[in-house]
Amino acid sequence: MHEDQNRSFNTATYLATSGPGRTVVEGGPRAIFYAQGGFADSVFYLRSGRAKLTVVSKRGKEATVTLLGAGDFFGEESMSAEDSLHTSTASATTACEAVKIALSEMRRVLHKEPTFSEFFMKFIVMRGIRTQADLVDQLFNSSERRLARTLLLMADYGTPGEPVALIPTVTQETLAEMIGTTRSRVSFFMNRFRKLGYIEYNGRIHVHRSLLNVVLHDELPEENASRPKLLDPAPTFARAAKRAKLV
């Protein structure tokens, strides 16, 4: 009986339909799925569209943590403990459709359906690998290389199937937040990528395979050769002397 139930369970169908403990929700750009600090009682599965996770510091500074695409779970922090709170805000960047799964239902299906458990566990492992790669990227790579990697990930290079022709609309401010640099530097690198033929953009960004090739072969142009001017000018002798007195 138990085996028959397992054979009849279909993960794709389950995540495409509403039912006990789960609801299909839709929203346009900027729609909020949940807010940072709110009570976490559900897990979401993004069926279509793009969304993002953002955090706000105690000083009110907002940063984009990651971008979400179809096939991503989010809000899984609700499973960490009873009465847990959301650590970020999840909002749509394009028209989205998601399945909202109540915590009690999520626990039930993970316990009762091995195929779903395997599907969810694979996602969690892959997200952990992605998070580790993001940290390594942030620690060791230049901001230009981090931007190139982010654009390639948004275009779905490295995932099964063909990359998308146009990535979803994203602002340079959001890209700057994701790679840890300023909007002016992102603008500089984007212009250089376009001149070199790696991307095209006119509102929407088209990422060419040539960008993937130069990243894989570590052949991005030397950043120092034509990097934008730093915001802070080099210290003059008078400023250096003044600083020395303050030490």
Q: pLDDT tens digit string along 51-102?
A: 999 999 888 888 888 889 899 999 999 998 888 999 999 999 889 999 999 9
What CA–CA distance (Å, rounded) separates 46 from 50?
Answer: 8
Which of 93-107, 153-167, 215-229 comes out lowest in average pLDDT?
215-229
Strand ranges in 2-95 using DSSP code E only, listed in sequence order: 22-27, 32-34, 42-48, 51-56, 62-68, 73-74, 89-92
* pLDDT above 80 (res 163): no
Chain center to CA of 161: 19
Percentage of the chain modeled with pLDDT above 70: 84
Q: What secondary structure does DSSP assign to 157-183, as a single string?
A: TTSSSPPPSSBPP--HHHHHHHHTS-H
- Give this prediction's pTM: 0.71
Task: Report the side by side order of strands in the sheet with 73-74.
Answer: 22-27, 96-102, 42-48, 73-74
Take residue 213 and report the two structure tokens written for it. 């090739």
CA distance to 35, 58, 74, 208, 213, per residue, from 51 (Å): 13, 23, 10, 23, 27
What domains does the chain contain, in order, with CATH numbers? 2-137 (2.60.120.10), 141-225 (1.10.10.10)
> What pLDDT, in 10s, does the model give residues 176-206?
888 888 999 999 999 999 999 999 987 789 9
- Alpha carbon distance 243, 46 (integer Å): 52
Q: What is the mean pLDDT of residues 161-177?
A: 80
d(CA 76, CA 34): 12
